[in-house]
Chain A
Amino acid sequence: METKKLKIGLAGNPNSGKSTVFNHLTGGHAHVGNWPGVTVEKKEGKFQFQDYEVSVVDLPGIYALTAYSMDEKIARDFILREKPDGIVVIIDASNLERNLYLATQLLELGTNVILNLNMMDIVRNKGMAIDTKKLSQIFGVAVVETVASKGEGIEELKEAIVNGLKKKRDSLRIDYGEDIEMEIDRLEKRVSISGYPSRWVAIKLLEGDREILEMAMREGEAIEFQTVDSKKRLEEHLGYDLETALVEKRYAFLSGLVKESVAKRLDLMERLDISDRIDRILVNRYLGIPIFLGMMWLVFQSVFTLGGPLSDGIEALMGWLGESASAGIGSLGGPKWLSSLFSDGIISGVGSVLVFLPNILLLFLAIAILEASGYMARAAFVMDRFMHALGLHGKSFIPMLMGFGCNIPGIMAARTMESEKDRILTILVNPLMSCSARLPIYTLFAGAFFAENQGWVVFSLYLLGIILAIIVARIFKGLFFGAEVSPLIMELPPYRMPTVKGVLIHMWERGSLFLRKAGTIIFLGVILIWLLASLPFGVEYASKESFIGQLGSSFSPLFKPAGFGFWQAGVALLFGILAKEVVVGTFGTLYGVEEAGLKEVILTHFTPLSAYAFMVMSLIYIPCIAAIATIKRETNWKWTFLTVAYSLFLGWFLAVGIYQIGKIFL
C-alpha cells in the first residue's frame, strides 16, 4: 500500500497547550529550525496514521491573523503561501470564547480546519459540558476533545486529521450587520485576488490590511480609492474606528455561539482563585523582587554549581583523551604535527563545544520549568520597571544574569524575549557581563598587584562591565532600533505543575540546537587557531615564530599606549579569543613557567596600572569563539561583526584611557 502524504499546521493562542499537543502527535521528535528570514523557532515533526504520513508544523502562538505582529505574519504566510492540507486549531476549552476567535479568522478565510478542544479536564472538573456536535455543525468542521497533558484524545485527533480534512466546505460567514455588509458587498464585486475568497479580501481591505491591499492593487483597479471611500463612509456612520467594530462583531458572534453550545457558562473562579492567590504572594509588592532574586539565585547556582563539576569532568576527559592520543601517535612513530593536530586541534575542538553542554542543558532545564509553571511570564514584569530605567526590557534580566556565569547560555536565554529588537540588543551587550572564564585572569593580576584590595579590584571590573552594558545598550538602541521601548503586554497562564516529559523535550530541543549550529563554528574556529599556532611547518606550537606569534608580535605595539606593548601580551590576548581563561595558560607557556611561578614573571613585566589596563582589556575585547558562534547562531553576521568590532574598539580605548590618565596621577 502506498503512503499518502499530508501537511498540516498547528495554530492556537499562547498557553493553549499547543506544544503539548505537538509533542504527543509527533512523539517528541521534532526538527527545530527557523522560519525563513527571522529567528522565530520553527518546529516540524511527523507521524504515521493508517496509510498516511502526516507532517506537522508548529505555528507560533497567536491571537489573530493580521500582518501586524511577526508571529501572526508567519502563521498567515504559512497558511496562504505554503497551502497546507489543513490547520488544527488548538483551543483552551476553558476559555472557549477568546480561543475561538482565531478559529473564526481561519474559517472566514476558508481554510480547512479541525478544532481541537484541549484542556477538557478543566472543563469537566467544573461540571461543564461543551456541545461539540453543535460546534461542529455551526462551523462545519470536525471537533475533537483532548486532554493533551495526559495524552487523552490524541488518537482521535490523528484520525480526524487523516479523515476529517478530506471534506471541502464553504467559508464561514459572520454577519457584520447591515451597514458593514453593504460595503463588503460593494468591495467584493470589485476586487479579486486569485486563490483568496473575495469576501475575505473585502473584509481585510476594510480592516486596512496593507499586504492584501497591495496584492489587490497588483490585480488592477483603483481599489485603494474604493477602500478608503468605503471605510470613510462606514466610520462616519458608526461613529468610531472600523477595525475595532469588526473585531467586536466577531466577538459578539462568538459570545452568542458559546451561549448556545456550552451547557452552563464556564465558571473559572476556582482555578483562578488559586492562581491569583499564588500571584499575591509570588509577585507581591514587597516579596516580588526578593522572591524573583531568590529564584534567579537558585537557577544560577544549579546551572553553574551543578554544571561546573560536569564541565570539569568533560574537560578532564578530553585532556586525558588528547594526551593518550598524542602519546599513542608518538609511540607509533607518527610525526609531531599529527599528534598535535589530534590533541591541540580536533580533541580540544570537540572539547570546547562539549564543555558548554552541561551549563546549557541545565539552563534550559531551569527555564523550561519556570516557563511551564507559569512563573517565567510573570518574572518579566517583576523586573520591568528596573530594567526599563536601564533602557532594557524586563525579560533581559535573566540573559544578563546568566552572562555572569557564561555568556553562551546568557545569549541563548535571550530566546525567551518576544521582541526582535530587544532580543538583539540584549545579545549585543551580553558579552560585557563578566563571565566566570575571565575570573582566572583577574585572580592572577589582582592577586599579583593588588593583594590587599583584591576583592575590590575584581568587583570594580564586574561593575565596569554592567555600566558599559547599560551605556552601550542605550547607544545601540538610539542608533539601530529607535528610542521607543516595545510595549510589554502578555497573557499570563494560570500556574500549573510542569510535566517531566514536556520539560525534558524542551530542554533537549534547545540544547541540541546549540550543539548542531554553534558547535560547528566553535569547532572550526579552534581548528583554525591550531593551524595558525602550528604553521609554518616545524615551529614550536604557539611560539613567537608561529603565525599566531608573529601576528601577536606585529600588533603588540598597538598596546604600547595601554602599557602592555610586548609580544607575549598580544599572543595571550589572541589566544584569549579561543576561551578567556586560556590567557593565563598562554602566559605560562610563553614565559616557560608553571602557573605557580607566573605571579613573579608578571610582576616584572607589568606595573599595577598596566595590569589594571590589561584586566579591563580582557573584560571587554572580542568575545570568545564560542560566544561569537552563538551570537551568529542567534542573530546574523552583521550583528556578530558589530559585537566583535565594538568590543575590540571599546576595550582598547578604555585600556589606553585608563593607562594614560592613570600615568598623570601616579
Chain B
Amino acid sequence: MIPLSMARQGEKIKVLGISGGKGLVRRLTEMGFYPGVEIEIISDGHAGPFIIGLGGLRFGIGFGMAKRIFVEPLG
C-alpha cells in the first residue's frame, strides 16, 4: 500500500482506502473513488499537477489530497 502521491505516470493502480473525515470520504465516494476502483495516473504531480483517469473522466488532485488516498499498484 502506498499513498497516491507516490504513484508514477502511466501506472495503473487500485484504490484501497481514504484517510479523512466522513464528509470527505463520502464526497470522494460520490465522485467515484471508493475501495476497489481502478485508476490510471495521467500526470504524476512532480512539479506539476496530479491528474488521474477514472474511466472516461479526468480528475486533478491536490498534493495534500493525494497523500490521503491509499492505493496499490497493479502489475
Contacts and interface: CB of A to CB of B under 8 A. Distances in A.
Interface of A: 63-64, 66, 68-69, 94-95, 97-98, 101, 208, 240-241, 243-244, 247-248, 251, 266, 268, 272, 275-276, 279-280, 283-286, 288-289, 377-378, 380-382, 384-385, 388, 394, 485, 487-494
B61 A63 contact: no
A491 B58 contact: yes
Contacts of A69: 23, 27
Nearest to A269: B56
Contact of B64 (A64, A286, A377, A488): A488
Given A63-B31, A285-B48, A394-B62, A95 B57 contact: yes
B51 A283 contact: yes
Interface in B53-75: 53, 55-65, 68
A68 B56 contact: no
Contact of A384 (B24, B34, B62): B62
20 contacts: A63-B30, A66-B27, A69-B23, A98-B57, A240-B35, A244-B34, A268-B56, A275-B58, A276-B42, A276-B53, A285-B47, A286-B47, A289-B47, A382-B48, A385-B47, A485-B64, A487-B24, A488-B62, A491-B31, A492-B60
A248 B63 CA distance: 27
Contact of A388 (B34, B48, B58, B64): B64
Contact of B56 (A272, A384, A385, A394): A272
Give the interface size bracket for B toward A: 35 or more
B14 to A, nearest CB: 15
Contacts of A378: 49, 51, 60
A489 B46 contact: no
A397 to B, nearest CB: 13
Given A63-B31, A68-B27, A272 B61 contact: no
Contacts of B59: 489-492
B42 A279 contact: yes
A488 B60 CA distance: 8
Contacts of B32: 98, 251
A243 B48 CA distance: 33
Contacts of A248: 34
Contact of B55 (A98, A101, A285, A493): A98
Contact of A487 (B46, B49, B68): B68
B6 interface: no
Report the 7 A-B pairs with minimum CB-CB distance, sorted nearest first.
A381-B49, A488-B62, A268-B56, A288-B48, A487-B65, A492-B58, A381-B60
Nearest to B60: A381
Contacts of A268: 56
Interface in B2-52: 20, 22-32, 34-35, 42-43, 45-51
Contacts of A241: 25
B24 to A, nearest CB: 6
A98 B50 CA distance: 21
Given A285-B48, A485-B64, A266 B34 contact: no
Nearest to A374: B58
B34 A385 contact: no
A443 to B, nearest CB: 37
B58 A272 contact: yes
Contacts of B46: 285
A284 B64 contact: no
Given A283-B48, A381-B50, A388-B64, A247 B30 contact: yes
B5 to A, nearest CB: 11
B21 to A, nearest CB: 9
